[in-house]
Chain A
């Protein structure tokens, strides 16, 4: 007996094939994204090499918190391009896209929150004003 789920599977796989004309369009998009990712990396390295975390006197650079947020934003932009374009998640059905993204984003947001809240507490215990360290 032939398994109809395997026949279906094969249909999905074969339906992903495309012709030469469509290939030209896709390749153009790929090179565009390559340019964007390279540009972002270059910007990140330049910022990292030239904007210092501390000034000449060893004091905190007041710009640094904004630089930090900027790094995080650039990272998430890069990640979005990789996942949605290179991994083609943007081309899948919307339901599948959210089955992958929603649980992950929820869990990680929770994990980041709980770890930062906890380590803020431990920072107070170890290095704060009333720390246990002499």
Chain B
């Protein structure tokens, strides 16, 4: 940290006998790995942007993701905001674990690392629910009316609402007429078709691939954190005199949070 940035003359710095960056080999190459992983995610998100930019229309985030567990629909972006908050908080507990490690405070490291693992599991579970809901779809699916695809919904008074895209809704007798004239239906989402964007099947593919790839990173991050937690409990790093392994898995964990910040923006907000 700050101590490593002390002033050293250039000839001494690059003259061999130590890392010119003044950091350990393991930490340096964790960073290199994260750069390559960030390029993978960057490639995936840019590919998403490529597909979206050339598509005639694209589903609106707050209409597709407006469900809460146990409460039903009508809560735009609320659940994913909660997920994002949980991941940020678990990033905070991780950085607190790293700080405690620098003070060789084993008890505090265990406490914060355990909270990080719990937060990670919470996030993976939430993503599981999100996937379940995305695959099964809304209660009523989409229908092909004479005026194009529409998502079927009912308001609290049990009146029919058709969402025609571009934020347009049709209600009342007009909706009833379109509903009766429907020639095809679609329910939920899979790799071939999805009710959220009947005209752009790639939408669901990108959702599954990008959030799935991120979710797998979260899952493996939880496993790494858990292994390091066991090592902390066994006193491995006390014996070593430093808790740099906590810092290294911490870098990976923050990276997962970092990726989610971008996935959140491109999938849910824009």
Contacts and interface: CB of A to CB of B under 8 A. Distances in A.
Interface of A: 4-5, 8-10, 12-20, 23, 26-27, 30, 34, 37-38, 41-42, 44-45, 47-49, 52-58, 68, 71-72, 74-75, 78-79, 82-83, 86-88, 91-93, 95-96, 99-100, 103-104, 107-108, 111-112, 115-116, 118-120, 122-123, 126-127
B233 interface: no
B21 A71 contact: no
Contact of A58 (B18, B50, B166, B244): B166
Interface string B243-254: 010010011001
Contacts of B95: 30, 86
Interface residues of B, number: 73
A95 to B, nearest CB: 6
Which secondary structure dominates chain A's binding surface?
helix
A30 B4 contact: no
15 contacts: A9-B26, A18-B3, A26-B99, A34-B89, A38-B88, A48-B268, A57-B168, A74-B265, A79-B261, A82-B254, A87-B255, A93-B21, A104-B39, A123-B53, A123-B54
Interface of B: 1-5, 17-28, 31, 35, 38-39, 42-43, 46-47, 49-51, 53-54, 56, 60-62, 76-78, 81, 84-85, 88-89, 91-92, 94-96, 99-100, 102-104, 164, 166-168, 241-242, 244, 247, 250-251, 254-255, 257-258, 261-262, 264-265, 268-270
Contacts of A96: 21, 23, 28, 31
Contacts of B96: 27, 30
A115 B46 contact: yes
